[in-house]
């Protein structure tokens, strides 16, 4: 069978940037990151300038291959694998310093440009929090939370735990709030996203103060809970998509890949036995969606309740938290609460590109399905009420647990507000 070439297509001229030389590997295949950097991001530059870019990129790839063990620079840039990128840059700088020549400074500048033009780092500045040395505002924040607990109880609601979303606090202010809640014998635990761990290492963590583990020893003065605090770090960086940059009105270059600035040193999972027959665990944002060794542990344990702390837009069943919560709710039958702060929802609302939203949480269990929890405009928090429903689990050979298991199901949720709300909390700026 013969296919004749289309004369019209043959007559068309390709753009000049697609016909010139490219950076290739040993097999003659174009290097992905170099092609994007030179011909996509800088295709408007003169040919001789792009030739200098190609020489710098080629030298950097060669340096990566000479590392022991060799480093796949494309993979390191796109993952991104910051330690590997740092190794290549450090080795390249050392090579330039050992050598000589007037082009050294230019080669180093181009090498750094090659690395950092592809992607950038972002982090969250917690301007909603008072500074650690601002004792007055720190105390007013603790009073605000405890007054919400009191207001909920005065409204006939039961409050057993307090949960705050991803990066809500730093560890110092988590401890301040935990100190106050520890004196409330009816509060079983505090869970919050924090920006530092116990050793003041910056990052993205979840902290749990499990007061209930003290049992009968607990009283208003006891401090034993401090040794029981669990802190673990996030397992995956958040990569901001172009659609998110647009939806949230972020002042970032949409042509770059923007990654959360994190050093991921370990992966772990904290699982607590709560009230004797219930298991509880937490995940942080991307950890709910990404392929991760801890996902296998979650599925193997099948916790009764999983709380996912997010910094995300509105929590709707059709969005990604709802899809991944559905997977866990169906197998292994875990009830899932995904919970975000109102900040990014407010930014999305301000852009006016989507319907106004206020869904700060999404509840999903295998019996009642998915339910968005809306935060009314005048409210400061929500009280979520759950009920434990007995269920029977069976082994593969048909044996049962005689109904000793249970499932957490949605009962209701109600808004709560307090008059003890400092002005700086109303404005969302905890520091001047």
> How far apart are the C-alpha atoms of 320 and 285, rounded to whole Å?
10
Confidence of residue 157 (pLDDT cuts 50, 70, 90): very high
Least confident range of 15-29, 77-91, 200-214? 15-29
> Domain check: are 399 and 263 in the same one?
yes
* Structural tokens at position 227: 């040794």
Cα separation values, 237 from 82, 233, 261, Å: 12, 11, 7
Q: How far apart are CA 55 and CA 103, in angstroms?
A: 11
- Token code pair at residue 25: 């590997």
Question: Which range (19-23, 65-69, 333-337, 382-386) has the least confidence?
Answer: 19-23
Q: Which of 92, 122, 152 is the last residue of a domain?
A: 122
Q: What is the pLDDT of residue 12?
A: 47
Residue 342 pLDDT more than 80? yes
What pLDDT is recorded for position 103?
A: 54
Q: pLDDT tens, 201-216?
A: 999 999 999 999 887 7
Say what the pTM is: 0.81
Closest CA to 161 of 288, 277, 302, 307: 307
More confident residue, 403 or 407: 407
- pLDDT reported for residue 101: 52
| Residue 16: pLDDT over 80 | no
Instruction: Report whether pLDDT(252) > 50.
Output: yes
Q: Lowest-pLDDT range, 1-15, 74-88, 173-187?
A: 1-15
Domain-terminating residue out of 65, 97, 122:
122
Q: Are residues 277 and 339 in the same domain?
A: yes
Q: How far apart are CA 108 and CA 92, in angstroms?
A: 8
Residue 105 lies in a domain: yes
Residue 409 lies in a domain: yes
Residues 97 and 153 in one domain: no
| Mean predicted lDDT score pLDDT of the chain | 88
Does residue 360 fall inside a structural domain? yes
Domain boundary among 85, 101, 122: 122
87, 227: one domain: no
The phi, psi pair for 358, rounded to 5°, reads -150, 20
| Beta pairing class for 278-284 and 271-274 | antiparallel
Check whether residue 82 and residue 183 sit in a common domain: no
| Per-residue pLDDT at 7 | 39
Q: How many domains does the chain have?
A: 2
With respect to residue 239, please indicate whether it lies within any of the assigned structural domains. Answer: yes
More confidently predicted of 253 and 172:
172
Higher-pLDDT residue of 87 and 105 is 87
312 shares its domain with 336: yes
Whether residue 160 sits in one domain with residue 102: no
Query: Tell me, what's the pLDDT at 10?
Result: 40
The answer as to whether 5 is a domain residue is: no
Looking at the domain assignment, is residue 2 inside a domain? no
Give the pLDDT score at 126: 95
22 and 153 in a common domain: no
Which pLDDT belongs to residue 6? 41
Dist. CA 34–CA 38, nearest whole Å: 6
Helix 135-154 vs helix 171-182: angle between axes, to the nearest 10 degrees?
40
Q: Determine, yes or no, domain membership for 248.
A: yes
Report pLDDT digits (tens) over 280-304: 999 999 999 887 888 889 988 999 9
In this structure, are 175 and 80 located in the same domain?
A: no
Using the predicted structure, report yes or no on whether residue 338 has a pLDDT greater than 60: yes
Give the CB-side neighbour count of residue 383, counting CA atoms within 13 A: 19
| pLDDT reported for residue 14 | 44
Q: Which bin fits 194, alpha (ψ -120 to 50), beta or left (φ > 0)?
A: beta
Alpha helices in 71-187 (DSSP H): 73-78, 82-98, 104-118, 135-154, 171-182
What pairing do the DSSP bridges indicate for beta strands 381-391 and 405-416? antiparallel
Query: Are residues 225 and 78 located together in one domain of the fold?
Result: no
217 vs 156: which has the higher pLDDT: 156
CATH number of the CATH domain containing 223: 3.60.110
Domain identity same for 87 and 156? no
Q: Is residue 45 part of a domain?
A: yes
Model confidence at 4: pLDDT above 70: no
State the DSSP code for 121.
E
**345 lies in the same domain as 233:** yes
The candidate with the shortest Cα–Cα distance to 295, out of 287, 304, 305, 303, is: 287
Domain of residue 270 covers: 135-427
Question: Does 277 score more than 60 pLDDT?
Answer: yes
Share of the chain above pLDDT 70, in %: 93
pLDDT value at residue 254: 87
Confidence of residue 2 (pLDDT cuts 50, 70, 90): very low
Note the pLDDT tens digit of each residue in 92-142. Answer: 988 888 876 555 788 888 988 888 877 788 889 999 999 999 999 999 999
């Amino acid at each position: 069978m013969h296919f004749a070439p289309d004369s019209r297509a043959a007559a068309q001229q390709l753009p000049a940037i697609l016909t010139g030389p490219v950076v290739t590997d040993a097999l003659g295949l174009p290097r992905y990151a170099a092609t994007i950097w030179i011909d996509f991001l800088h295709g408007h530059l003169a040919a001789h300038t792009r030739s200098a870019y190609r020489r710098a990129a080629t030298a950097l790839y060669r340096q990566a291959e000479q590392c022991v063990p060799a480093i796949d620079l494309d993979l390191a840039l796109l993952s991104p694998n910051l330690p590997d990128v740092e190794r290549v840059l450090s080795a390249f700088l050392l090579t330039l310093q050992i050598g000589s020549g007037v082009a050294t400074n230019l080669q180093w500048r181009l090498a750094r440009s090659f690395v950092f033009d592809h992607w950038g780092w972002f982090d969250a500045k917690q301007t909603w929090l008072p500074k650690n040395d601002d004792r007055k505002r720190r105390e007013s924040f603790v009073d605000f939370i405890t007054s919400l607990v009191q207001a909920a109880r005065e409204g006939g609601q039961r409050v057993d735990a307090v949960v705050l979303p991803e990066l809500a606090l730093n560890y110092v202010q988590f401890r301040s709030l935990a100190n106050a809640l520890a004196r409330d014998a009816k509060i079983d635990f505090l869970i919050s996203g924090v920006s530092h761990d116990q050793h003041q290492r910056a990052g993205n963590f979840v902290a749990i103060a499990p007061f209930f583990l003290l049992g009968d020893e607990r009283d208003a003065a006891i401090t034993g809970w401090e040794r029981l605090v669990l802190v673990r770090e996030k397992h995956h960086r958040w990569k901001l998509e172009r659609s998110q940059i647009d939806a949230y009105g972020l002042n970032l270059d949409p042509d770059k890949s923007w990654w959360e600035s994190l050093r991921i040193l370990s992966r772990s999972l904290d699982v607590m036995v709560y009230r004797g027959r219930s298991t509880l665990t937490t995940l942080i944002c991307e950890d709910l969606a990404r392929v991760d060794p801890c996902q296998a542990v979650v599925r193997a344990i099948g916790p009764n309740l999983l709380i996912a702390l997010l910094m995300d837009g509105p929590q709707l069943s059709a969005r990604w938290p709802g899809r991944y919560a559905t997977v866990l709710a169906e197998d292994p039958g875990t009830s899932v609460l995904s919970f975000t702060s109102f900040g990014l929802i407010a930014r999305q609302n301000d852009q006016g590109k989507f319907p106004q939203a206020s869904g700060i949480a999404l509840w999903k269990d295998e019996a009642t399905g998915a339910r968005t929890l809306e935060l009314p405009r005048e409210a400061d928090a929500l009280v979520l009420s759950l009920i434990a429903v007995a269920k029977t689990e069976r082994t593969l050979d048909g044996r049962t647990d005689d109904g000793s298991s249970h499932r957490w199901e949605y009962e209701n949720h109600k808004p709560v507000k307090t008059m003890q709300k400092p002005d700086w909390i109303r404005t969302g700026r905890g520091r001047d």
